[in-house]
Structure 1
Amino acid sequence: MKNINFNFRIPRLRCYSKINSISTTFFANSKITNFTFSNLKKAEMSSGIPLNPAELWRPKDISNTEMEKFRFVVNEKFNVNLENYHQLWKWSTDNISDFWATVWDYTNIIHSAPYEQVVDSKPMNEIPTWFSSAKLNFAQNLMWCRDKNKTAIISAGEGRPIKKISYHDLYDQVRSMAAAMRRAGVKKNDRISGYISNCPEAVIAMLASASIGAIWSSASPDFGISGVLDRFSQIRPKILFSTNSVIYNGKKIDILPKLKVIVENLEKESLEKVIVVPFNNSISFDLSSIPLATSWNDFLNNYSVVGSSSDEIDFEQLPFDHPLYILFSSGTTGKPKCLVHRAGGVLIQHKKEHIFHANMSSNDVFFYYTTTGWMMWNWLVSGLTTGCAIVLYDGSPFKPSSSILWELSDQIGIILSTGSPLKPESFNFVYDSIQKDVLLGSITGGTDLCSLFAGLNVTLPVYCGEIQAICLGMKIEAWDGEDKPVYAKPADLVCTKPFPCMPIYFYNDDHKNSKYMSAYFSNYSSVWYHGDYVWINPNTGGVVMLGRSDGTLNPGGVRFGSAEIYNIVENFSEIQDSLVVGQKVGDDERIVLFLKMNEGIKFNDDLVLRIRSKIRNQLSPRHVPSFILPIADIPHTVTGKKVEVAVKRIISGEKVAPSSSLVNPESLELYYNIPQLKSKI
């Protein structure tokens, strides 16, 4: 099941995965009325993307979904007659303040002080303030349930039995950790970091930090030393949480040697305490060589509140825009940028997505296969705000067998998900081989917003290869170099109206927010430029993700995304992985396709001819690569993204320093001095 990205919606289940896609913005009923049939056919032929994809699933009854209930509330409250989701979406983006105020009320956000204004009048590139004067606490909104008989966390993983934690016990453990952290000197705005596996202690530490008003940031233990230091050295944490070891792919991996080097570097800055979780008792837990280190239990015991009888957490009441998380960009072209996300923005956005779009409730089990180094971990943990049970899985999804996650689903009532862009063939696989009566949804968003631009929708059909809908309140369009939307044509993904989960700033940016402005407002000054390349289907409202804009292919002035090539190439059984990039040649560029062959398979001319023919017939002659070459390895980031931009720069004659975010940085050396690519650079 390589390269499958699942987001299932069936009773008692929520499973999600990341796919960068987006949905259309302009429906009155179901189709664009001013887009002619001839234009549609021309667009379909030029892009190779079907305008009438197969319908794979349709909801039977949507009347009792939260999305429909919300639509009725809006109709009654504002005296409008919105008949379907597309009209509701349009209203939500035309009436930003009314929409978000209604979400605030409908989702029961716990707060101690009311807001005075939903959003101010500042333009998008000046980073508007949201819900002014409101006071709330993010952690409090995730721990409203304290039922002893209701499961909050199901922890599972390679080499470990399933463990369940009730909402009552989760609250109690967060209370103890928060009290200990306060006594250790942690206060609001302090940075707390986790170099930690996907375990309950990670969630407990994050919630304890949020209850105080400290700012949480995390990295997965699969990050190398430089990758961790590139991130944490920029934010200077006061406390670092870690695990002593992990198990992955059947191997027990000792984390302490890496942790020692990391701590020795961080203690020169602001680090005061290192708290280590004994994740694997078969690995040494000798902390004597690690400065500032203590065990999880010793920290709780040493900083416990003697004689305290309070069963309540002291939730710090904070502004809506108070910092909650620092997330990091992939850093493929330099040190990762430190994106600071506001507590209220993450909260209201995740509530909207989980409650309305996923129809999630306290009866559900919610799983996403992720690590703590990916924003999907933060998204997963926010499922607690619905009262559901979240599943934390740590380890390989294929050990001890390739069916381990299926076995897990049998035991606790979930279905697996993995994380790479969902191709049309993968949609077909799910409906042909897994289950026909299932909502298979894909989502798009990212670290930049710690949430979604578009995703699943329980009230709409699923079409093969497409995202179902743009999320409510997100004014998404596709722009092609001009300040207006285009349809049925590859273009840049932009968001044209403010949204509450925009980062409030980049940590260590200058007073002009130069890095922030460069990241999102340098291409189009007045709207958010996300850096993705998309194709909007005016028939269905779906959108196909075509890759990153900075990796867009542009031979002879014809722009298209790398995903179009991958969707074809990766159906060849001989190929394990691939990478397609543009190489600059004078004022033009030519397409170069690199192939990593499966073990025991040799690269050959017949394969090249078949690939060229398939691309020409299914896409166009313009899509056919100038060169198709074998390569020993394909560079990926630790979150599984193909590193197109760095390779593009290398084969275009630049020297590129390997980023700490690459899982295999040595692979970049393979792309220098390739004889076939030396001509006419």
Structure 2
Amino acid sequence: MPVEDPTPAPVPAWTPTPDAAARTQISAFGRWLAAEGRGEFGGYAELWRWSTTELEEFWQAIADFYDVRFRRQATRVLADDAMPGAEWFPGATLNYADQALRRTGEKTAIVAVSEDGHRHEVTRDELRNQVASLAHWLRTRGIGPGDRVVGYLPNITATVVAFLATAAVGATWSACSQEYSPDGAADRLGQLEPTVLFLADGYRYAGKEHDRSAHNDELRRLLPSVRTTVWVPHLGGAQPPGTEHFDTLTQGDHLLETTPVPFDQPLWVLYSSGTTGRPKGIVHGHGGVTLEHLKFLGLHLDLDASSRFAWYTSTSWMMWNIQVSGLLLGATIVLYDGSPGWPHPGALWQLAADEQLTFLGTSAAYLTAAHKDGTPLGAAYDLQLTGLGSTGSPLPAGTAQWIHDTLPTTWLAAASGGTDIVSGFAGGAPTLPSYPGEMQARLLGVALEAWDGHGHPVTDEVGELVVTRPMPSMPLYFWNDPDGARYRDAYFSTYPDVWRHGDWVTVNTRGGVIVHGRSDATMNRYGVRMGSAEIYEVVDQLEEIADAVVVGVEESDGGYWMPLFVVLADGHDLTPDLVARIRGRIRSEVSPRHVPDDVIALPTLPHTMTGKRLEIPIKRVLQGAALSSVANPAALDDADALAQFVPIATQRKTALHTDIPRTS
């Protein structure tokens, strides 16, 4: 007799009603495809398969469905589908700002809220006028295609205006949040040799106003290419000498003029975490971003012109760029300058209630903290959320189930992607059931597979996340990488012509995707990817520290533990004063997000024979992997040093299951 499988079939925690599914943008897209004679699809799986095999038809359909405003049409959609080097929409010209500012009128385009309660709105016409005036001023300074404009700014309206004006004139934008030290910001922005610099006088976080006047002066010194500095009076400080006043530059009376640029004209530069050295500048184009964000925000987050949309973010995280692109759909975007947990842990939920958000995005860590706190969100806040987004790290199944229980009418759209494509690989599909612990689907146009160690696709098994067909928002190139060697090494060194992202994933038979964490050493804390190199740059300067290694560990309860292990120099002890100084130096010279959770002294640390720190093996041991599976002892300078982390992992696991309060 056949043996019955004792494992019960998984049960979805949320399923859209037929009426709700029919009202989604992705259903409207399917009906439009059928009406246009472009194809009829029996469900999401068929639509996804078509979108990844017929790339030209799919991406042309996205451009047509959303009426992308090309100034000149392309000769075809995809002239070369090689990776890297795919050539999208050759001959086409457009401008991101045309799509973002195409809607006019008195409807609110941006709401900006600070944690101190200050709030202001900008209508579509007001936003368009501010961008037009600032773009006119940039042109008077000779700024256009080929120039770089940068910002050291918080998440406020002025940042959006500065970016859109930069895009409008065809120049390239880049930004860094003011949590970074001047050196940290210059490591990023200085690579671009920018001509114009936008500076705010400071930002608000956790009940404090952080004056950045001294930081601004130092950053200006570190960016000698800057010819003009624009001052943004966010906190009300005094205008520094030798700067232009943002308010003056945005109060003119000018018609919006946008410069048509090629599809692959650089729009912005984002940055890698800096794990192995100086952060890599990742360049994305006007056309690729426009199409990808219309698809991601419109079809997968279900946004349209009636949406009120916020994603908790800083200007250094790609989710800031995603948030701004809500304007492409005509949505009202809500910006927040402050801590999500001040003056109380539910500050972000209160923001969602006060602003009547229809979609809120945040990090998995914030949702996990809310779960542990146990506040019944649906009862405690007047939420109108139809969708809730999660990204930055895997969302635990228990937290996902709790969200569905406490917000039963809200669709949970967990997503996983990267700065590299400034979008998602896997995420939400509002027409599909939602199962706790997994993302609903591979996103349209993303030929995602999980590959085993032999380069073969696997189902229901853990494998490397790979993408086998090009996407229009893949990087154009890395900054200062003229022969493309660093770009190819980052994504194509393992599997030639196939993108390897560095995540461990499972693609299951339902088409759902489970992310198990990073397969490389990049840390991802509070939804922000960070690099260890910047921490070492500070810690290695301390005379008390002989050696150090930092890792970020995704834990079984959904938490994220970032310990710093140190070897003390002879004659020194790990005193509370030394720990405080380590934390203080990292906070001030890198950013508060980089401060480790614990500082732990060990007698020695393991390395490769060439002296490299063993971040990945240490992380895997701390997650419970066997020593024999993470490193070859013959390749280590001290195999016993790696074994030290086994009892630490055991102690940590015991503490998690003993000390952390649970909610049912």
Range class of TM-score, shorter chain: 0.7 to 0.9
Alignment partner, residue 593 of structure 1: none
Deviation at 1:217, TM superposition (A): 0.4
| Aligned counterparts of 1:140 and 1:184: Cα–Cα separation in 2 | 22
Alignment partner, residue 244 of structure 2: 294
Q: Which moved more, 1:341-350 or 1:222-231?
A: 222-231
1:410-425 aligned within 5 A = 410-414=353-357, 416-420=360-364, 421=393, 422-425=395-398
Counterpart pick for 2:91 among 112, 133, 152? 133
Deviation at 1:285, TM superposition (A): 1.6
Relative distance call for 1:350 and 1:640 in structure 2 (3 A) is: farther
| Aligned counterparts of 2:360 and 2:312: Cα–Cα separation in 1 | 7
Deviation at 1:51, TM superposition (A): 8.9
Alignment partner, residue 441 of structure 2: 469
Alignment partner, residue 406 of structure 1: 349
1:163-202 aligned within 5 A = 163-202=120-159
Q: Secondary structure at the match of 1:366?
A: strand
| Aligned counterparts of 2:9 and 2:111: Cα–Cα separation in 1 | 41
The answer on whether the counterparts of 1:53 and 1:464 sit within 8 Å (CA) in structure 2 is no
| Aligned counterparts of 1:210 and 1:393: Cα–Cα separation in 2 | 23
Higher relative contact order, structure no. (Cα contacts within 8 Å, ≥ 6 residues apart) = 1
Relative distance call for 1:409 and 1:98 in structure 2 (3 A) is: same
Letter matched to residue 103 of structure 2: C
The answer on whether the counterparts of 2:462 and 2:506 sit within 8 Å (CA) in structure 1 is yes
Deviation at 1:74, TM superposition (A): 2.9
Alignment partner, residue 555 of structure 2: 566
What per-residue deviation string (whole Å, max 9, x for no partner) do you get for residues 365-411 of structure 1? Answer: 00100011101000100000111100000111122222322222222
1:363-382 aligned within 5 A = 363-382=306-325
| Aligned counterparts of 1:639 and 1:154: Cα–Cα separation in 2 | 26
Q: Is 2:196 aligned against 1:243?
A: no
Deviation at 1:439, TM superposition (A): 0.3
| Aligned counterparts of 2:131 and 2:90: Cα–Cα separation in 1 | 28
Alignment partner, residue 175 of structure 2: 218
What per-residue deviation string (whole Å, max 9, x for no partner) do you get for residues 163-187 of structure 1? Answer: 1110010001111111111112211
1:6-25 aligned within 5 A = none
What per-residue deviation string (whole Å, max 9, x for no partner) do you get for residues 268-292 of structure 1? Answer: xx211111111012xx32413xxx4
Counterpart pick for 1:578 among 549, 561, 564? 561
What per-residue deviation string (whole Å, max 9, x for no partner) do you get for residues 489-537 of structure 1? Answer: 1111000001100111111103x20110010100101101111111122
Counterpart pick for 1:100 among 59, 83, 100? 59
| Aligned counterparts of 2:8 and 2:499: Cα–Cα separation in 1 | 27
Alignment partner, residue 542 of structure 1: 512
Relative distance call for 1:151 and 1:120 in structure 2 (3 A) is: same
Deviation at 1:79, TM superposition (A): 6.1
Deviation at 1:579, TM superposition (A): 4.8
Deviation at 1:471, TM superposition (A): 1.0
Q: Is 2:476 aligned against 1:520?
A: no
The answer on whether the counterparts of 1:468 and 1:542 sit within 8 Å (CA) in structure 2 is yes
The answer on whether the counterparts of 2:553 and 2:562 sit within 8 Å (CA) in structure 1 is no
Counterpart pick for 1:337 among 280, 300, 305? 280
Deviation at 1:68, TM superposition (A): 1.6
Alignment partner, residue 100 of structure 2: 142
Alignment partner, residue 152 of structure 1: 109
| Aligned counterparts of 2:558 and 2:434: Cα–Cα separation in 1 | 24
| Aligned counterparts of 1:151 and 1:400: Cα–Cα separation in 2 | 27
What per-residue deviation string (whole Å, max 9, x for no partner) do you get for residues 77-106 of structure 1? Answer: 456442001100001111011111111101
Q: Secondary structure at the match of 1:461?
A: coil
Deviation at 1:226, TM superposition (A): 1.7
| Aligned counterparts of 1:678 and 1:361: Cα–Cα separation in 2 | 52
Letter matched to residue 351 of structure 1: L
In structure 1, list runs of 5 or more residues that go unmatched. 1-36, 45-49, 553-561, 571-576, 583-630, 660-672
The answer on whether the counterparts of 1:545 and 1:563 sit within 8 Å (CA) in structure 2 is no
Deviation at 1:133, TM superposition (A): 1.1
Q: Secondary structure at the match of 2:70?
A: coil
| Aligned counterparts of 1:359 and 1:203: Cα–Cα separation in 2 | 22
Q: Secondary structure at the match of 2:314?
A: coil
Q: Secondary structure at the match of 1:56?
A: coil
Letter matched to residue 422 of structure 2: C
Relative distance call for 1:656 and 1:345 in structure 2 (3 A) is: same
The answer on whether the counterparts of 2:30 and 2:40 sit within 8 Å (CA) in structure 1 is no
Deviation at 1:641, TM superposition (A): 8.4
1:659-670 aligned within 5 A = none
Alignment partner, residue 426 of structure 1: 399
Deviation at 1:335, TM superposition (A): 0.5
Counterpart pick for 1:85 among 9, 21, 44? 44
Q: Which moved more, 1:53-62 or 1:460-469?
A: 53-62
| Aligned counterparts of 1:639 and 1:548: Cα–Cα separation in 2 | 22
Letter matched to residue 450 of structure 1: V
The answer on whether the counterparts of 1:193 and 1:239 sit within 8 Å (CA) in structure 2 is yes
| Aligned counterparts of 2:8 and 2:488: Cα–Cα separation in 1 | 35
User: Could you state the TM-score of these two structures normalised by the residue count of structure 2?
Assistant: 0.75
Counterpart pick for 1:443 among 415, 419, 422? 415
Letter matched to residue 141 of structure 2: A
Alignment partner, residue 116 of structure 1: 75
Q: Is 2:210 aligned against 1:253?
A: yes
Deviation at 1:207, TM superposition (A): 0.3
The answer on whether the counterparts of 1:51 and 1:537 sit within 8 Å (CA) in structure 2 is no
Alignment partner, residue 628 of structure 2: none
| Aligned counterparts of 2:416 and 2:170: Cα–Cα separation in 1 | 29
1:300-311 aligned within 5 A = 311=254
What per-residue deviation string (whole Å, max 9, x for no partner) do you get for residues 207-258 of structure 1? Answer: 0000000000000010112210110111111111111011211111111101
| Aligned counterparts of 1:500 and 1:335: Cα–Cα separation in 2 | 26
Letter matched to residue 497 of structure 2: S
Relative distance call for 1:651 and 1:86 in structure 2 (3 A) is: farther
Relative distance call for 1:452 and 1:565 in structure 2 (3 A) is: closer
Deviation at 1:487, TM superposition (A): 1.2
Letter matched to residue 132 of structure 1: P
1:591-610 aligned within 5 A = none
What per-residue deviation string (whole Å, max 9, x for no partner) do you get for residues 594-650 of structure 1? Answer: xxxxxxxxxxxxxxxxxxxxxxxxxxxxxxxxxxxxx999x9996968999x999x9
| Aligned counterparts of 2:243 and 2:122: Cα–Cα separation in 1 | 26
1:476-491 aligned within 5 A = 476-491=448-463
